[in-house]
Amino acid sequence: MSLATLLLLADGRLPSGGHAHSSGLEAQVSAGRVRSVEDLDGFLRGKLATGALVSAAFAAAACGDVARCADLDAGLDARTPSPALRRASRAQGRALLRAGRAMWPVAAIGREPHQPVALGALAAAAGLSPAETAVAAAHGAITGPAGAAVRLLGLDPYAVHALLARLAPECDRIAELAAKRSGDPVDDLPAAGAPLLDIGAEHHATWEVRLFAS
Amino acid sequence: MHPEHPEPHPEHPEPHEHGPDEVPHTHPDPGVDPHAPLTGGPRALRIGIGGPVGSGKTALVAALCRTLGEQLRLAVVTNDIYTTEDADFLLRNGVLPAERIRAVETGCCPHTAIRDDISANLDAVEDLEASLGPLDLVLVESGGDNLTATFSKGLIDQQIFVVDVSGGDKVPRKGGPGVTTADLLVINKTDLAPLVGADLSVMDRDARARRHELPTVFLSLAEDKAATPVAEWIRGLVAARAAGTPG
């Protein structure tokens, strides 16, 4: 493993299309459910318990065995009831693959895989372990919407990063939990969902004016 | 043999018919595109059009579509800051059919989408080329931004920066990467110069000083609906590319 390689993969500056997505935050901000750093704390803790856990488990599983990518991709479809979120995940997977292919010899896993599957395939090509991949996935699942919150709500960026620092141990714990299960059959992998985010994503996709793609 | 698959299928090498009542079938991996991405071959010339909010980028794109759309195989990618307004403008004005226009969403950061993380724009350009077949020209219009916004060379071949006289005749003197480095600087809305007290000769002098050999054109889309000098510049690039000389 290479710690510097892991940091590259987890870096928000990786040109992987993530900057255009708020991970469902924009819809919740618009609905008035997230207005402050305290609200964002709740949003991100919910994210860690649901989407981040699923993403980390699937990314770690794909890293552990790239031959499972097609099955894992279908498993994520089944766990993503919102068509808008499926499109967003596949768009980000495609963009991540584009960046990854320029960096490492990534296995052929289709043109537009779900983002966690692409992340796992990249991590495997980079020589990272499933446990490290899970950390990158969980970290990305909260730093993405945290950055979007700074842009959407004008929150104090220091306060938001202080929050991310407080959440780091929980992020590690979720990643460890996800990595432990990454060898499970696809149907047994985590399937935690957030129905309000699914509904919000479908509303968001119909808005005439929005700042983020999802 | 299938016209799109020149190699015989290993299990069915001989020509055959599919029965009319056959159960509809899908690819063995539904949801996975079995085709390799398009590689090699001549791709379209990609021109980025950037500039501050309100300088007339979308009007210029519409004019170029009207002027060049008959002669060139053309498509457009728009980067709105928060709506599909620019794409809708092009559609409403009927300058290009809908399938030739893609809108990219930029998550509050129009400059990021054209410079630091160009993935969504590259996806849009490649999707247009994949769905429409070979193109001569793709125009990538940035969201209205500021004087520092420039395109990545990983996304476009040449870039146009559009400013307008109503922003003040000191804009060329202020410089910045857009004014200084763009392959073509367009100073737009010259018809407004007398109304806003802008001195075009000052703008011309300052642009030359900032840009040295790089070209600058003055434009009034109110008077020249064909955007003639810009269209001529693009025709030259397309011709040079077709002739195999670097554009």
Q: Is B107 part of the contact surface with chain A (CB cutoff 8 Å)?
A: yes
Mean pLDDT of the A69-78 span: 98
Question: Which range has the worst mean pLDDT, A144-148, B133-137, B140-144?
Answer: B140-144
pLDDT band at residue B111 using 50, 70 and 90 as cut-offs: confident
Closest residue, chain B, to A23 (C-alpha): B107
In the sheet with B158-164, reading across from the earlier edge strand, the strands are B101-105, B74-80, B137-141, B45-50, B158-164, B184-188, B216-218
Nearest to A50 by CA among A90, A70, A79, A91: A79
Cα A74 off chain centre by: 17
What three-state secondary structure class fits B184?
strand
Give the closest of B82, B107, B120 to A95, CB-based: B120
Q: Mind giving me the DSSP string for B7-50?
A: SPPSS--S--PPPTTPPP---SSTTS--SPPP-SSPPPEEEEEE
| pLDDT per residue as tens digits for the range B63-90 | 999 999 999 999 999 987 766 777 888 8
Instruction: State mean pLDDT over B23-50.
Output: 64
Residue B235 CA to residue B241 CA, distance in Å, equals: 10
Contact A204/B at CB under 8 A: no
Contact between A70 and B32 using a beta-carbon 8 Å cutoff: yes
Region A150-165: what's the mean pLDDT?
Answer: 95
Inspect the interface and report whether the beta carbons of A15 and B117 lie closer than 8 Å: yes
**Does the pLDDT of residue B210 top 80, yes or no?**
yes
Is the pLDDT at A204 greater than 90? The verdict is: yes
The CA–CA distances, whole Å, from B168 to B63, B132, B162 equal 24, 41, 13
Rounded to the nearest angstrom, the gap between the alpha carbon of residue B197 and the centroid of all alpha carbons in its chain is 32
- Chain A residues whose CB is inside 8 A of the B106 CB are 19-20
Q: Where are the domains of chain B?
A: 45-239
Facing residue for A19 by CB, picked from B37, B83, B107: B107
**What pLDDT digit, counting tens, does each position of A17-39 carry?**
999 999 999 999 999 999 999 99
Nearest to B107 among A20, A112, A208 (CB): A20
Nearest-Cα distance to chain A for B52, in Å, is 18
Q: Which of A26, A28, A55 is nearest to A147 (CA)?
A: A26
- In angstroms, the separation between the Cα of residue A35 and the nearest Cα of chain B is 18
Which domains can be identified in chain A, with CATH numbers? 3-7+20-203 (1.10.4190.10)
Best B39, B89, B102, B108 member to test A by mutation, with max A CBs in 10 Å, is: B108
CA gap B134, B40 in Å, rounded: 12
pLDDT at B168: 85
Answer whether A16 sits within 8 Å of B119, measured CB to CB: yes
**Quick one: average pLDDT of A151-173?**
96
Q: Enter the ipTM.
A: 0.83
> Within a 10 A sphere around the Cβ of B217, how many other Cβ atoms?
18
Neighbours of B237 (CB within 10 A): 18
% of chain A beyond a pLDDT of 70: 100
The more confident residue out of B42 and B83 is B42
Q: What is the pTM of this model?
A: 0.82
Specify the higher pLDDT residue, A68 or A209: A68
How far is CA B57 from each of CA B42, B179, B233, rounded to the nearest angstrom?
Answer: 27, 14, 16
pLDDT bracket for residue B95 (50, 70, 90) = confident
Q: Does B42 touch chain A (CB under 8 A)?
A: no
List CB contacts (< 8 A) between B118 and chain A: 15
Query: What SS3 class is residue A200?
Result: helix
Q: Which CATH class is domain B45-239?
A: alpha beta
Please, what sign has the CA dihedral across residues A144, A147, A152, A155? Answer: positive
**B119/A17 CB distance under 8 A:** yes
Give the tens place of pLDDT for each residue, A77-120.
999 999 999 999 999 999 999 999 999 999 999 999 999 999 99
pLDDT of B39 strictly over 60: no
Of A122, A48, A117, the C-alpha closest to A86 is: A117
| CA B70 to each of CA A60, A166, B46, B76, B101: distance values in angstroms, whole numbers, following the listed order | 51, 59, 18, 14, 16
Q: What is the pLDDT of residue B118?
A: 94
Average pLDDT of the residues of chain B: 85
Q: Is the pLDDT of residue B51 over 50?
A: yes
